[in-house]
Structure 1
């Protein structure tokens, strides 16, 4: 077994990895980014805003727990140990069943009679806070209805640094403000529904390649450690940490740390990330859980800020754990301070109570490992045969919401006037993306294929479709209702038949194409999670070019997990309309039909930039290890300049800018006004915390922790009990006998009062309270100058004015319904945080003296109005 204390120094810095890299690995210690140590791990603040009642209940509960019960709360029971993708130990003495940690950010994974929602990226394209919140609430309702305690989402990591990134679709947007709004509203919705949300993956988890050593080796790469995302302090704060601050401010109950390293320290034992940034600076009051097998040490990860390990075993189905019995020993012998195990338990239970849960929570009524009604509750052990799936229907009327979100998240990129359709004489639908997977929508495990229409990408962020409305089915139904002639060819590889069809008179040809991606453990057509390129899949580009050469009225619909290259064909006069329909979920066909036929006036806005070439984006996935057999090194050398910020700086060629989208009506912007607030000056936080609280004594006699003789042992199950009272043998630790001072970093076990960071909040999750003071209110008039009602999405951008700042950055937006001839007012605010840069010397947010200008417009490149901020 890997030692509880193995690789302990990785919790504080990159020194252990750097020292292990020999001459054959090309890079040397001096070349590697490092992560500064930050200790001790901050303890909870029972008086934090919004957490007071939850912590009062948590204290009443945790104060009753034994050490073994606290360890049970913090340690997963092992892969396939029980019904959910992850569960911790139960507290049967007090009536608390095991907590169910379960995917995914689009629905309840591996279950039945649940919904599949549009992706986060598609939700972001709505630019609609209310829809984002409603989506979160509906997902939280469904998870709760299945017995899920923690829903593993939403996602702000990956943010979307590289457009090829495999899991970008699970998140929202490469813009931190749009992602911040998306993640915050989703969290509020999930938790208002009574389910704990889990913001993930913290942080810098921007590609699938090399995120895990075992996975990479399975693809033939010889690396010793996972990839290191090397991110400087300013970029971390102004870009990647920004949406997580919004998540913490929204009251998120849990945060999942990611697989890869950050500055050569594993994210789940990186004290700079977990202790300093998340718990100190942002004032996070919930618990940090590891991604599945992202824990690499025992005591070191505990003092670095990890609160729960998932799924509990060191590797899947080993039956061994860095925590469990090893954590029990670590606390008993003083290696892990008592306050730390108490803090872990308190954080977990406070998150539990914060969302309104009670100890007598309803049972888990599904089983991730099988759809059979009866089976073993302990799947890997094949023990505890009983009813495990109750097939509870949690869908309610969520299909209506899913259809609305997918339609309002559809972006009209081009329209020469052919749309909306009105009882066209002859509709020809072309492409396998319009039709079904002939083996069934759930036939590919975790959706790991690209067969039929793309309504959900692949990986752990998936769920089973209760049904899938294909574009072909919905468009056929519409054509029948209209009396239109209708034919479809549901393949990309029938050129003769396709040409014969679309060359006929009076035809409106609708071509459906896609580009897929997903999580790295699945390889689809040599795409190991991340996309190999930005072209359309399955000969899609040739299909578009061919059909448009044969038909003068060709409409193109794209389902994709991010931008694709349309340079070679988008401006063809025969291509009369282009729509991006994202990853729409189960109502895919109905939602795109609603838009094509004008039942929904399109108002989606692209949540990313569409570059003219792959190179124009300025960033790309690292596909080949660059550090010999050591940890691949990915330098985020572009800083904050990703997506539209990069295109603006580099003047790189683009096709469609961030925030762009057309409507079936037209809008005019006028009368920008600014009102300055008087919130007072920024006051850095001062003072100290209280000393670390603890909750009762515990026995130091190891005989009290030996596996009970009256308890039946379950194979591979992770317990807090020892198999012997001999500590050395129980731990199987070659370093046994060392004191904490010999291998843990300085101050790692300190429980005395600690100074507060000037940038942190005093009992204010999200950072210094003054950061969120409104400094300016901007208004502008928007008039619908067309003939039909429509939604407009006005966007507020800011120029921070400095020579190293982006040209503009998004800071606020709204979605406004406006009738023909009507004028509505757009109202947006700028907070102190919006106006600030991160000062790496001062270690705080500072409003620079550079002149600042606010812009209002309909996209990042169409900013009709501006005003200088005095």
Structure 2
């Protein structure tokens, strides 16, 4: 039976029921037409599933900035296939990813979750991600459509952006992923040019569905839909979460009263059923056979190493040769930050820290020092624990094991928990101190809590979210600390009781028990680290951002590394000139110590295999394959597009298309490192170039030679510019050059490789009041290693 026949079998209430969530993460089943539940889950680095809980572990890949740093289409497709495998394992049909908003400002709190400042690179990496996931029979929802490029006031802000910038920068990656066959798109919270995105008929209906021919479904961001008629008529197809919301009976009434035509509802149902058919949730249609089994840990390790970006390597210190002792310094060396905060969070089965990874190296003397700890919240204990769900009388409803002392169930409670009876959750664990003295314990979360040590209450308090903001309480929860004297080797029983209840059948449980050992003051720790560094062959400082700095829900206020990490790095570098700084951050940070250290290796948020991948790269088992997907400033005040603070509920993108490296070139400013920069472990020459105009687009053929003594990969980048034509676009915007194509080229030592980069026609076009227009004239195609390191050039004549 085809989809049209199935639609004909449904009455209006059944149709409308299909267009809102049955719960937090799924659309309802309609057995009468053979439709099973359609389950959605957050990504983008893993598949969390329906339970936001450490009890259900997931593979954790490196951050999207790291994926983009590989510039490797096939590698990203492989990562997508792994995510599909994970989704199928967890019964998930749709992955709520990838995030393809633009790195407009490095202060954006969710910068780590997006790919790049460049629309071309964003679109190509996003398309590869989408294709990889969907090859495994799992849908994707590229997000957040559109201009959701920051967090401040994201639920209500109006973004004012010109038509040309909207088309050429912000919509361009979405157009590319639609061309690649995306089965879904997620509408953002914000308004664009005066209309909230869940009601934006011009963009959701006119551009996405009509102009681009998108045949998938449009789902709202969670709680983003605020209206019945306007959202239904504006092109939105599915409201999440449910079952409560602005549609349901209200939408049935709107159709019955003639405010919303039933054909509009039918089109939404058609799109949902098409999705169900594609993912194997409709009738007898089996899901698409997945690709062969993928070793998730091995791929996570490979992607991490290939994303690591070597920014500086004075004297060829890396890779290590003859190194027998390493001073490994920094709190993030022992507790790596492997992912960003917010909806991107998953719970891996194991995290390999840099300390663990380096200590696996046979014959290596690893000397560890904390140096300084910039984290404002105590980290959860990594001890097995259990959660006990109780009713008002204290009777146990269910118990579930936890891998750490962090408890989360957002939306879906465990299936054996009777939600209406739920009154409290108690988390219990046994902790054995390794040192005597005053230990810090903390509770992070919002609500009523009691913390007990060996059955004795030591904290009993109701913790209120800051300013009553419950979203912030989830994304950046408040914390309360106490100090308890504990003895080395003497186990203690710790318990946290949290009064809670299920709201309309859904759970919102999120709290953690944190811990810190007795610790000297910062000055003592920094001096200790410098002393250890002085006595080692090399020093490796792992410097990181924290969850208070980079996360969903808020933007950054500074690009400085938090805490006293800059001081730590300077002191270690003074003690040992062979110092390598590993920057464990998802987005740019200032590096005032840059000229004082021998090497800087950017590892982004490197995923669960962080430590093993770091060891691979430091010792040369793998080459750092990354190239910057975004420009890296020296100082925050140098950034040409920076401010993310709305004024009277509005933020203006007055810079137009001059975003990222285009803005830096236009402003005549030099960053610390340009877009596309990255060093490897071998050397390359660019030998020849030939450019050919094609019927649609162009091709650029380049010969490169690996002149070093080891195999390597080069990212050949092609930039276009107009040859002294004086043309500055329809609204006066004049980017000096723009990325037109790229190719990853592997080569053995002494080998010359010839590669051809395809340039799409869109690279020669601009958006005007009349639509897309190919601009005739002479273009210069330049190839090189970054936007600032261009080695060869050829001309391309474009005629109409």
Instruction: Settle same-fold status: TM greater than 0.5.
Output: yes
CA distance in 2, matches of 1:244, 1:139: 20
Equivalence for 2:652: 635
Whether 1:162 and 2:162 are equivalent positions in the alignment is no
| Cα offset, 1:182, TM superposition | 1.0
| Coordinate RMSD, CA, aligned | 2.0
Given the alignment, which residue of 558, 583, 591 partners 2:583?
A: 558
Equivalence for 2:184: 254
Equivalence for 2:532: 501
Equivalence for 1:327: 251
CA distance in 1, matches of 2:135, 2:657: 33
Equivalence for 1:101: 40
Equivalence for 1:90: 29
Given the alignment, which residue of 832, 838, 849 partners 2:776?
A: 849
> Could you tell me the TM-score, scaled by structure 1's length?
0.70
Equivalence for 1:136: 80
Q: Is the 8 A contact 1:403 1:588 kept in 2?
A: yes
Given the alignment, which residue of 435, 446, 463 partners 2:346?
A: 463
Whether 1:117 and 2:61 are equivalent positions in the alignment is yes
| Cα offset, 1:547, TM superposition | 0.8
CA distance in 2, matches of 1:88, 1:345: 12
State the SS of the aligned residue for 1:787: coil
Whether 1:604 and 2:607 are equivalent positions in the alignment is no
Whether 1:583 and 2:605 are equivalent positions in the alignment is yes
| Cα offset, 1:344, TM superposition | 0.2
- Residues 186-240 of structure 1 show CA distances to partners (whole Å, capped at 9, x for unaligned) of 111111101111110000001111012xxxxxxxxxxxxx111111100001100
| Cα offset, 1:168, TM superposition | 1.6
Equivalence for 1:781: 703
Whether 1:348 and 2:293 are equivalent positions in the alignment is no
The alignment of Structure 1 onto Structure 2 pairs a total of residues equal to: 629
CA distance in 2, matches of 1:242, 1:275: 16
CA distance in 2, matches of 1:491, 1:61: 65
- Residues 286-345 of structure 1 show CA distances to partners (whole Å, capped at 9, x for unaligned) of 1111111111110111111111001136xxxxx4x2111111111222211011000000
CA distance in 2, matches of 1:59, 1:814: 43
Equivalence for 1:830: 759
Q: Is the 8 A contact 1:516 1:561 kept in 2?
A: no
CA distance in 2, matches of 1:348, 1:253: 10
Equivalence for 1:538: 563
Equivalence for 2:647: 626
CA distance in 1, matches of 2:231, 2:711: 56
CA distance in 2, matches of 1:434, 1:824: 39
Equivalence for 2:457: none
- Residues 610-668 of structure 1 show CA distances to partners (whole Å, capped at 9, x for unaligned) of 11221222222434x521xxxx1100001111111111111113111000000111000
Describe the shift of the 1:355–1:76 C-alpha distance in structure 2 as closer, same or farther (beyond 3 A).
closer
Which consecutive residues of structure 2, in runs of 5 or more, have no partner in the other structure?
A: 373-521
Q: Is the 8 A contact 1:72 1:90 kept in 2?
A: no
Whether 1:307 and 2:237 are equivalent positions in the alignment is yes
State the SS of the aligned residue for 1:639: coil
Taking the TM superposition and a 5 Å limit, the aligned residue runs for 1:240-639 are 240-312=170-242, 319=244, 321-359=245-283, 397-416=295-314, 417-436=316-335, 453-478=336-361, 481=362, 483-492=363-372, 493=522, 494-504=525-535, 506-516=536-546, 529-566=554-591, 568-572=592-596, 575-623=597-645, 625-627=646-648, 632-639=649-656
| Cα offset, 1:465, TM superposition | 1.5
CA distance in 2, matches of 1:563, 1:298: 41
CA distance in 1, matches of 2:590, 2:293: 36
State the SS of the aligned residue for 2:366: strand
Whether 1:64 and 2:64 are equivalent positions in the alignment is no
State the SS of the aligned residue for 1:201: coil
CA distance in 2, matches of 1:133, 1:60: 35
Q: Is the 8 A contact 1:230 1:635 kept in 2?
A: yes
Given the alignment, which residue of 717, 735, 739 partners 1:795?
A: 717
CA distance in 1, matches of 2:700, 2:83: 34
CA distance in 2, matches of 1:307, 1:248: 16
| Cα offset, 1:354, TM superposition | 3.0
State the SS of the aligned residue for 2:672: strand
Whether 1:172 and 2:115 are equivalent positions in the alignment is yes
- Residues 589-621 of structure 1 show CA distances to partners (whole Å, capped at 9, x for unaligned) of 011111111011222101111112212222224
Q: Is the 8 A contact 2:280 2:286 kept in 1?
A: no
CA distance in 1, matches of 2:549, 2:740: 37
- Residues 341-393 of structure 1 show CA distances to partners (whole Å, capped at 9, x for unaligned) of 00000011112223455436899xxxxxxxxxxxxxxxxxxxxxxxxxxxxxx
| Cα offset, 1:850, TM superposition | 4.0
CA distance in 2, matches of 1:396, 1:825: 31
Describe the shift of the 1:171–1:526 C-alpha distance in structure 2 as closer, same or farther (beyond 3 A).
closer
CA distance in 1, matches of 2:785, 2:260: 54
CA distance in 2, matches of 1:358, 1:340: 22
| Cα offset, 1:848, TM superposition | 1.5
Equivalence for 2:154: 211
Which structure is higher in strand share? 2
Which consecutive residues of structure 1, in runs of 5 or more, have no partner in the other structure?
A: 1-55, 213-225, 314-318, 364-393, 437-452, 518-522, 680-772
CA distance in 2, matches of 1:211, 1:776: 40
State the SS of the aligned residue for 1:346: helix
State the SS of the aligned residue for 2:174: helix
| Cα offset, 1:499, TM superposition | 2.0
- Residues 668-705 of structure 1 show CA distances to partners (whole Å, capped at 9, x for unaligned) of 0021012222x3xxxxxxxxxxxxxxxxxxxxxxxxxx
State the SS of the aligned residue for 2:311: strand
Describe the shift of the 1:669–1:787 C-alpha distance in structure 2 as closer, same or farther (beyond 3 A).
same
CA distance in 1, matches of 2:280, 2:92: 14
| Cα offset, 1:409, TM superposition | 0.3
Q: Is the 8 A contact 1:298 1:326 kept in 2?
A: yes
State the SS of the aligned residue for 1:791: strand
Deviates further, 795-804 or 341-350:
795-804
Whether 1:860 and 2:743 are equivalent positions in the alignment is no
State the SS of the aligned residue for 1:74: coil
CA distance in 2, matches of 1:183, 1:526: 21
Whether 1:813 and 2:752 are equivalent positions in the alignment is no
CA distance in 2, matches of 1:811, 1:795: 8
CA distance in 1, matches of 2:96, 2:21: 15
